[in-house]
Amino acid sequence: MPSAQSSTAPGPAFSGYADPDVTTIIACVTALSAVICLISALFWLKEGRHRNQFWYVAPFASGVIAGIMLGYPAMFSYLWALRIGHTAVIFSYGAAWQASRVLCSRPTRPVPVIVTCALWFIYMLSYVHSTSLLTIAPMIYAVIIGGFSALAAMEFRQLVTPRLPSATMLFWIFASYAAINFIRVPLAWFLPAPLGPYPPTWWSIAIFALLAVMHGILTTAFMIAFAREKLAAENYLLALIDPLTGVGNRRALKECTEALTAHLPEGSLVGCITFDIDRFKTINDRFGHDFGDKVIALAAKIACRTVGSDNVFRTGGEEFACILCGPHPEDGIAAAERLRSDFEHQAQNIEGVDISATISVGVAIGNIGREWGDLLKQADTALYEAKCSGRNRTILAKEDNPVLDNLSIFPAQTSRPTG
C-alpha cells in the first residue's frame, strides 16, 4: 500500500489529468458524450417530452459536465472542478439506472441517486487531506458505479412481459459493466488513475474512456431499440385485446389454443366453455347500446374472476369462450355453473336498473390431441341446446367423448330456466 512519504504516493492525479495526451483523450470522450446527449435529447423530444423521460438525456449531459471539469480543471477552481466532475460521473450512472426504470415503465427513484452523490461529494471534501482516504477512493468509486450498473441490469432482468431481445442485450451490457467495476475493486490498489490511486498513464485513461464510450454507445442504441420493440409489442397486444372488456379476442383465442397444443403433453385434458347473454337484443332495445355494453363488461368481469383473465375471450357481440387447462370433468362443469349462477345474481340489478339478465353456457371437455375447432363446436352445440331448452342453463357436451364415457355422477344439464 502506498504511504504518504512514498514517491509513488497517490496525489491529485486520481482527481485531475494534467498531461496533454490525457486531456486530448478526455476531450474526445466529452465530445462523443455530447453527440450521444444530442441524440438522446432528440429521442426525448420525439417521444413527447414526458417529464420522466428527462432521464434519457441526464446520463450523457452529466457526462459532458464531468468531461469538461476533469479535462480542464485548471480553467476552474481546481479542487472544486475535480469534486464536481467526479460527482457528475457518479450521477450519470445513477441517471442511467433511472432511465432503465423509465424504459421498463416503473416509477423513478431519484432519492438514492441524489443521496449517493451527496455522500460522495462530502467524501471528496475530506479525502484530499488524508492519504488513506485518497487510496481507497477509486475502490469506492468503482463500487458505486458497479452498483448503479447492477441495479440497471436488474430492471431489464425483471422485465417478463413483454420479453424483448433488446431487453436481454441491455441486461448483459449493464451486468458486464457492473462486473468489470466490481472486479477492479481489489485491483485498484495497484492501478494508475482513474482505475486506481497512482498517477495516470495514457493506457489507464484510454481503458477507462474506452469502456465508458462503449457502454454509452451500446446503451443508447439498445435503449432506442427497446423503446421501438416495446411499442411494437404493445400495439401487437392491443390487436389481441377486446377494448370494451379487456379480455382477449378471437385472434387471441387462436394463439392461446395453438400455444397450448404446442406446450401441453399429448393426452392432457382441456376444456372449453362458451356462453352468451340471453335475449341481449331485447336488453339493447329497451335500455340502449351503452347499457348493453355494461352488461357485456359485467359478463366478462365475472368470467375473469371465475376462470382467470388470461383464459377468457370475447368471440362475438355478447358471446364468449373460456379455456380450461387440465380440468377434472367435475371441475369444468362446476366452473361453468358458478359462472352462470354468479352472473344471474349480479345481473339482477345493474346501476339501479332491474334487468334480470342471464346467460346460457355450453361446456366441452376432451384431450389435447383433439382439434380445438371440434372442441369449440361441441361447446357451441351444448350452448345452442341450452338456449333451446329454456336459457339460463349450463349443459355439458357428452356425445362422442370417451373422456366422459365412465362419468356417472355428471348431470346432463344444470339449469335454472328463465320464465
Active site residues: 318
d(CA 86, CA 128): 13
SS3 323: strand
Distance of alpha carbon 372 from its chain centroid, rounded? 32
- What is the full DSSP assignment across 326-374? S--HHHHHHHHHHHHHHHHHHTSEETTEE----EEEEEEEEETTS-HHH
Cell 463500487, residue?
143
Query: What are the cell numbers at 368?
Result: 389435447
Structural contact between residues 209 and 33, judged by C-beta atoms closer than 8 angstroms: no
Q: Starting at the edge strand that comes first in sequence, how are the strands of the sheet with 393-396 ordered?
A: 312-314, 319-325, 269-277, 359-367, 393-396, 413-415
Q: Are strands 359-367 and 393-396 parallel, antiparallel or unpaired?
A: parallel
Burial of 186 (0-12, 13-18, 19+ CB in 10 A): exposed
Structural contact between residues 387 and 360, judged by C-beta atoms closer than 8 angstroms: yes
d(CA 338, CA 348): 16
Cell 364415457, residue?
405
Q: How many CB atoms are closer than 10 A to CB 193?
A: 25
d(CA 98, CA 58): 9
Indicate the helix (H) or strand (E) that contains 317: none
The alpha-helical segments, DSSP class H, found in 128-265 are: 131-157, 165-187, 202-238, 250-263
